[in-house]
Chains A and B, each alone.
Chain A
Amino acid sequence: MTETSQLPEEGKSEAEAVKTSEKIQKKIAKIVRENSQNLGKKLAVASLRGTERAQYTVSALTGVSFLGTLLPDLGPEKLEANLAEMLKEEAPEPEKVETEPAKDEAVEAEPVEAVKVEPAKAEAEPARKIKENKFKDIKSVVVTATGARYLYSEMYIARGYAEFLARAEATRILVAEKVRETSEKLGELTTVSSLDSLAPALEPGELDVHLAGLAMDERFKDIKSLVALTGTRYLYSDAYITRERAEAIARAEVIKAGIAKRVRETSRNLAELTTVSSLMEPVPAPEPEKAEARPAEAVEAEPVKTEAERIEAARAEAEAAGPDLLSTLVPPLEPGELDVSLAEMAKDERFKDIKSLVVSTGAVYLYSETFISKTYAGLLLRAEVNDPFATIAETVRDESRIYPRPTNIYRFNVPVFNIDPAELLTHIARMLEREEYKDIKMVHASNGVPFLYSNLYMEEPFAIGLAEWEAVEDEENP
């Protein structure tokens, strides 16, 4: 007799109740098995790879709610009760517990004792055998996003595939919810990469399968996809964002990524500032022969000896890594687009390393502080402005204030200051005559080396003492 938790219906005996349950369960099983068999046939015919699987949804299984519509007289409670009965697992055999101590004893005692236990075990089995469950092939899966349950027969549908269908359904629902919400409330696209967190239990590559299925699913026909020049994949709901608008948003992302890429590469490879105006200019594509030469391997094969070679190798490596995004935009970058993008980037955590410097003319320069320090960027800016007086005076003021120390004038021979060494003394002499630089003073070490300092931050005796140390005494203390 199959155990049942049901009370006999009023007016019916227990036996009649059991018989009724059996009939119900048989009917349920028949429906589930037929659905599963149908799906199984289709799957057997179709190639079970990749997106082809995606055309089938969990609805191909038998939803519990759908069962309710087929058996309206049953009612939800009785339906659940019968399903619980059908889905109940068999109890484990208790003899296994008793066998373990006997095995332990067998380790210490004669092996023949373990053998003696087994016949007793065989005799116990018939007495404790449970009535076979006729519906043990009927299984269920739950779609986590909705809580909906679906039934299937393991005779026709593998457990793994049923679980896959459940995950597919959950994923599609969650993705659609997120994309719609993001489109409606934020007016933004959703990157596919950001969807990983929605369904962490998916296997690698499985998200793409479900997204392909979502694209074919009529329920989600408003969910559209877009691939930007950066290779970034986006989703959006055209119920809230038009295709045109989505393309504009994606383009803006490409612009920002392109700006960041150029600025970072220029900072890293050339240690230079990037003018905003230069962002409007296309960068020529690499020569085909260079691309074919696979510069990354060339760098490994031939050790770089000079800085110029290293920079060239880095440049080639960057080119091999991908095209210049700004140069591939269609149509090309518009001035307005640039300003908007820069403003957005200033507030975007992804681009927090991109810094800007503005000169009095309004010209804007960009650099990445990942690769160029604020101090160095400031020096580059002065060099760009190309006002030797200001370069000298401002550098002297900085050094007098920060370290503090007077500035050996020959420090300005280093290229970053962009001052012609042949003109240095002339520039200094003229600068010292200017009213706006009256705080800049000159002192000499005992060996005649000239130093400059700012009396805004330093007094002459201190400047002389430090100049003497740097030019004379430091050499005496190797």
Chain B
Amino acid sequence: MADYGGWQGKVLRVDLSTGKISSEDTVAKYKDFLGGEGLAWKVMWDEVPPGTKAFDPENRIIFGVGPATGTGWPTAGRLSVTSLWPISPEQSTGSELPATGHGGGNFAAELKYAGWDSIIIQGKSADPVWLYINDSQVELRDARHIWGNGIFRANAAISAEVGPEVMVTAIGQAGENLVRQSNMMAARSHGVGGLGGVMGSKNLKAIGVKGTKSIKIAADKGDWKALCERWMYLCGANSGSVVPSTPQPWSDYYGGGRWWARKGLFWGAAYPAVETGICPPGDVNRMGLRTMKGSSDFSRRDPSGRIIGELITTRMGGCTSCPLRCHVLYDNPRLSQYGYGRYHSNTCSGNQGTQHFPKQSSDTWLETDAKQLGSVIADDYGTWQNYGQLGKDVQYLYSHHVWEEHLTADEWDSIPWDLYDAGDPKFNLFYYKAHAYREGEFGEDLGLGTWRLFEKYGLDPHAVDYEKKKTNWKLGHKYHHSGAQEGALINMLMNRDPQNHVHNSYWGNGLPFEISVAIMDEITGLPGSMRERNNNVPVTRGQARYALLSHIMCMIHNSVTQCDYNGMSGAWVTPWKDRNYRGEPDIEARLYSALTGDTVDREGYEEIGLRMANLFRALTTRYMDTPNMRDDHDQCPDYVFEDYGQDRAPFTPGHDRLDRDDIEDARDFLYEEFGWSSSGLATRATLEGLGLGDVADIMATQNLLG
């Protein structure tokens, strides 16, 4: 067997029912699927038959890392956690659909340093346990003394037990209480959405890892270092931005994106304050200053006009080996008045603890407090708001008097709606606890997920979506990372909101559209691969190929585990004018080849993504047991074909309204690009061409082959 770099060679398997702990050969069994999400699809395919439910002991939950994790490959510090997705609808087979949550911090790298390429958890422990991994020493430890406590206390208790260097992923009370819409937190402040309840269903409170091993790099160390530095030279800021958001001397373009650093913008709570300043590309030592997310996540201004986020941000943090630092570490002493600590960190929607409120408080500090308090409480309880979808659901159910009509009078009166109406932070003290503990029907509802919520109250999804303007997409997942036909295709392919930053980042790279589309046409080899935002024209095959590339590269990122938040920065696009803003499209393939010694070119690397995407497709098809994926799975909500009462025709400027016939064409293009049938089923030829002939055999027996 070839001796590869990157992989440690062993996957850990833990059967919580029997207590058996064993290992498997990573390369022999999973190499073709890289690791992370891809490895998990393989496990799910082999071991979790249709009919299994998310909370059944027979379900697996896979904590996936990949060959790149922890190797110094820039941004390769991510964790992909995969299982049956509790908030997705039950299919005719009885199963929910599979999906992956993603998290960061240092947990994933530590798992590699302990010598493991992933962890497969199955079964259910009789009593609450936590899994302790100390290099090759793996044991299940009693967690009854931690059970019932929040994630912060769990981290502290485990650290006290085995040492402060342990990296912990844990659930809070929400996961313990089998709240469907719950999460786990990796390294204390990095949320992994959607699967807290699965851990809870197995009585698994946490995983704590300590590792002291190294990871082999196949390439010459100097060459490896140079390649990693090459990527850092080529990349932009977080989320794929390759131009600064404000005019800067070094750039011909500006605006949008997350390259926020500028003169006069500070990490204001640092001592002394650190000015983000001008951070040109190529200045490696200032890369961590580019993305001042604190001022974006907490953008309200205090009475003096200063951005509150700037005042409270101590610094930017993030994940192992990521130079781009998108995690806000803040110090808000005002949180103490609510009984919580003043120091916390999170990013993006993890910092948005007010999405359920009907309006923002006019008191900007109060609104910020509410956001942060909500974030802190949610991160401790392990509740999850499905990227803001829950907030919209709450607003609708409240404003349309659904709860008022359905809850008992006592329960209705017990809810502090006055605080809710005012956007008062103290409402969050009640709200998240109710969510975590499933208190009352209100609390129960908060954890159901959108699809079950609509089912319970007989809501018309179309009505809700129409009012709330693009919320729920389908199957209980939130509209996210959309945009023209390609965004619709990307959303269609997934079982949860797509989390596809390959697409979202490319659209938001900040360059003039003319340049962006020219680059993308070169990447796809087809014209018209990208649309101007809110200016649609009839779909082209190029858009479908772009959607395919976005889908498979996102999956590769989640499998090799490189952060997908940076999209294809450095590969498709760079901030360098003297490169005409073109990246090196094969750089990720080169990194993979150098790391592992498994030499592939760009097409070969993409083929790995195609393989994983087709396995995921087959998996989803099997759980749905439908020969018509086109209509049953690859749906668009009605609102994408509407224009909110203005009734502007599709393909006119100023809106994103799509045309039904055109979307059918888009689906046809996409299926052709993937090599699927017109009903959206993978074909034998496609599967066999990707080394998935065994998958084709099984699909054939169930008449699910295209």
A278 to B256, CA, bound (A): 36
The reply on B648 being an interface residue by CB < 8 A is yes
Nearest CB of chain B from residue A457's CB, rounded to whole Å = 12
Q: Is the CB of A462 within 8 A of B246?
A: no
Nearest CB of chain A from residue B299's CB, rounded to whole Å = 9
Interface members, chain B 259-284 (any A CB < 8 Å) = 262-264, 272-275, 277-278
What 0/1 readout, one digit per residue, does chain A (455-478) give for beta carbons within 8 Å of chain B? 000011111111011100110111
Residues of A in contact (CB 8 Å), total 40
Q: Is the CB of A459 within 8 A of B251?
A: no
Looking at the complex, which one of B262, B470, B532 makes contact with A414 (CB distance below 8 Å)? B262
Q: Is the CB of B251 within 8 A of A405?
A: no
Looking at the complex, which one of A374, A461, A477 makes contact with B480 (CB distance below 8 Å)? A477
Residue of B nearest to A461 (CB): B654
Residues from chain A with a CB closer than 8 A to the CB of B273 are: 305-306
Supposing A307-B275, A307-B277, A415-B263 touch, asked if A462 and B534 sit within 8 A by C-beta, the answer is yes
Q: Is the CB of B512 within 8 A of A372?
A: no
The reply on B486 being an interface residue by CB < 8 A is no
The reply on A402 being an interface residue by CB < 8 A is yes
Supposing A271-B249, A375-B247 touch, asked if A465 and B656 sit within 8 A by C-beta, the answer is yes
Residues from chain B with a CB closer than 8 A to the CB of A476 are: 388, 470, 480
Q: Is the CB of A466 within 8 A of B249?
A: no
Residues from chain B with a CB closer than 8 A to the CB of A466 are: 533-534
What 0/1 readout, one digit per residue, does chain A (302-340) give for beta carbons within 8 Å of chain B? 000111101000000000000000000000000000000
Q: Is the CB of B653 within 8 A of A461?
A: yes
A10 to B250, CA, bound (A): 87
Q: Is the CB of A373 within 8 A of B654?
A: no
Q: Is the CB of B255 within 8 A of A405?
A: yes
Looking at the complex, which one of B274, B277, B278, B654 makes contact with A463 (CB distance below 8 Å)? B654
The reply on B628 being an interface residue by CB < 8 A is no
A476 to B497, CA, bound (A): 12
The reply on A161 being an interface residue by CB < 8 A is no
Residue of A nearest to B510 (CB): A403
Mostly, the A contact residues are helix
Q: Is the CB of A375 within 8 A of B277?
A: no
Nearest CB of chain B from residue A355's CB, rounded to whole Å = 13
Q: Is the CB of A416 within 8 A of B246?
A: yes
The reply on A39 being an interface residue by CB < 8 A is no
Q: Is the CB of B277 within 8 A of A267?
A: no
Residues from chain B with a CB closer than 8 A to the CB of A376 are: 247-252
A172 to B471, CA, bound (A): 84
The reply on B364 being an interface residue by CB < 8 A is no
Residue of B nearest to A417 (CB): B247
Residues from chain A with a CB closer than 8 A to the CB of B305 are: 421
Q: Is the CB of B512 within 8 A of A403?
A: yes
Q: Is the CB of B249 within 8 A of A373?
A: yes
The reply on B226 being an interface residue by CB < 8 A is no
A64 to B246, CA, bound (A): 76
Interface members, chain B 458-481 (any A CB < 8 Å) = 470, 480-481
Q: Is the CB of A306 within 8 A of B388?
A: no
A371 to B249, CA, bound (A): 7
A375 to B511, CA, bound (A): 13
Residues from chain A with a CB closer than 8 A to the CB of B700 are: none
Residue of A nearest to B355 (CB): A476
Residues from chain B with a CB closer than 8 A to the CB of A405 are: 255-256
The reply on B365 being an interface residue by CB < 8 A is no
The reply on A411 being an interface residue by CB < 8 A is yes
The reply on A399 being an interface residue by CB < 8 A is yes
What 0/1 readout, one digit per residue, does chain B (602-614) give for beta carbons within 8 Å of chain A? 0000000000000
Q: Is the CB of B513 within 8 A of A403?
A: yes
A473 to B255, CA, bound (A): 16
The reply on A379 being an interface residue by CB < 8 A is yes
Q: Is the CB of B535 within 8 A of A465?
A: yes
Residues from chain A with a CB closer than 8 A to the CB of B482 are: 477
The reply on A404 being an interface residue by CB < 8 A is yes
Residue of A nearest to B280 (CB): A371
What 0/1 readout, one digit per residue, does chain A (397-440) give for beta carbons within 8 Å of chain B? 00100111100000100111000010000000000000000000
Looking at the complex, which one of B246, B277, B577, B648 makes contact with A461 (CB distance below 8 Å)? B648
Q: Is the CB of B274 within 8 A of A305?
A: yes
Supposing A307-B278, A402-B512 touch, asked if A414 and B247 sit within 8 A by C-beta, the answer is yes
Residues from chain A with a CB closer than 8 A to the CB of B256 are: 405, 470, 474
A474 to B348, CA, bound (A): 12
Looking at the complex, which one of B275, B513, B655 makes contact with A305 (CB distance below 8 Å)? B275
Nearest CB of chain B from residue A152's CB, rounded to whole Å = 52
Q: Is the CB of A267 within 8 A of B249?
A: yes
Q: Is the CB of B513 within 8 A of A404?
A: yes
Interface members, chain B 213-270 (any A CB < 8 Å) = 246-256, 262-264
The reply on B504 being an interface residue by CB < 8 A is yes
Nearest CB of chain B from residue A444's CB, rounded to whole Å = 13
Residues from chain A with a CB closer than 8 A to the CB of B481 are: 477
A41 to B699, CA, bound (A): 103
Q: Is the CB of A415 within 8 A of B264?
A: yes
Q: Is the CB of B648 within 8 A of A411?
A: no
**Most B-side CB within 10 Å, residue of A465, A470, A477:** A477
Residue of A nearest to B254 (CB): A375
Nearest CB of chain A from residue B425's CB, rounded to whole Å = 20
Residues from chain B with a CB closer than 8 A to the CB of A459 are: 653-654
Q: Is the CB of B255 within 8 A of A411?
A: yes
29 A/B residue pairs, CB under 8 Å, sorted by A: A271-B249, A271-B278, A305-B272, A305-B275, A306-B272, A307-B263, A307-B278, A372-B249, A375-B252, A375-B253, A376-B249, A376-B252, A402-B253, A403-B255, A411-B255, A414-B247, A415-B264, A461-B648, A461-B652, A461-B653, A461-B654, A465-B653, A466-B533, A474-B508, A476-B388, A476-B480, A477-B480, A477-B482, A478-B387
Q: What are the 6 tightest A-B residue pairs by CB atom distance, in nearest-first order?
A: A461-B654, A465-B534, A462-B653, A478-B348, A307-B277, A465-B654
Residues of A within 8 A of B (CB): 267, 271, 305-308, 310, 371-376, 379, 399, 402-405, 411, 414-416, 421, 459-466, 468-470, 473-474, 476-478
Known: A405-B256, A465-B653. 13 other contacts (CB 8 A): A307-B275, A372-B249, A372-B250, A374-B252, A376-B252, A403-B253, A404-B513, A404-B532, A459-B654, A461-B652, A463-B654, A476-B480, A477-B504
